[in-house]
Amino acid sequence: MIANNSWKSIKTVLLDMDGTLLDLNFDNYFWQEYLPVHWGSLNNMDAVTAKMQLKAWYAKEAGTLSWYCLDFWTERLNFNVLELKADVEHLIKYRPHAETFLQRLNDSDYDVVMVTNAHEDLIKMKVEKTSIDIFFDQIISAHAIGHAKEEQSFWEKLHTKIPFNRDETLLIDDNLTVLRAAREFGIKNLFTIAKPDSQNPEQETAEFDVIHSFQDLDF
């Protein structure tokens, strides 16, 4: 729960997309289930073997810009990953009450900026599915910055691109590594999401204040 008085000092709201505003089930299902079956079939591998190989590759790239780059994986796997994602785009949806929360923010005086690791082409797909772009003053992809949000360089360059007072900025993100990087950069107000993926249990969030429901936010 974010106390009412905590919002009084906030001027800039930075919001992640996947797992924060949109259900992470789309991304998790694609990378962990749907893609391994497809890639395995192309390479004469059963799904279990394909998952093991991909899991090792994912681990190697985790937290880097490559992990989030559709071009990287298209080249690595030798087929168009974005086109395959379109097969399961019906799973792209808002997390509970996120759209209403965004509308309330949009009606406020806050500067509302999306900061996401998602590739620009994937942002476009999700915008077409949800119209999420209408709620933001700016949408900034880590690919435009040149660094993943897990890196200090992202926050340094973001601060140059959109100057903000670190004490008057709120970041909401489901990725704890990203929140740690933002904390190291000096962003004062940090909140995470209890259940980024509707099909998975709540994550361990003791390190940061947690949002169980956007209905809890009173500002």
Q: What's the mean pLDDT when you consider all of the chain?
A: 95
The string of pLDDT tens digits covering residues 43-81 is 999 999 999 999 999 999 999 999 999 999 999 999 999
Residue 166 has pLDDT above 90, yes or no: yes
Domain ranges of the chain: 4-23+93-216, 26-90
Long-range pairs for 124-133 at CB < 8 Å and ≥24 separation? 125/82, 125/85, 125/86, 125/89, 125/92, 126/17, 126/22, 126/92, 129/89, 129/92, 130/22, 130/92, 130/93, 130/94, 130/99, 132/17, 132/21, 132/22, 132/94, 132/102
Assign 5 a pLDDT band (cuts: 50, 70, 90). low
pLDDT at 216: 86
The second-level CATH assignment, the architecture, of 4-23+93-216 is: 3-Layer(aba) Sandwich (3.40)
For residues 91 and 214, what is the distance between their CA atoms, to the nearest angstrom? Answer: 20
The single residue listed with the structure tokens 């900025």 is: 169
Work out the percent of the chain whose per-residue pLDDT is above 90: 92
Assign 171 a pLDDT band (cuts: 50, 70, 90). very high
pLDDT at 203: 93
From the CB of residue 197, how many other CB atoms can be counted at a distance below 10 Å?
20
Average pLDDT over residues 8-16: 95
Under 8 Å CB-to-CB from 177, ≥6 apart: which residues?
63, 150
pTM higher than 0.85, yes or no? yes
Average pLDDT over residues 4-33: 92
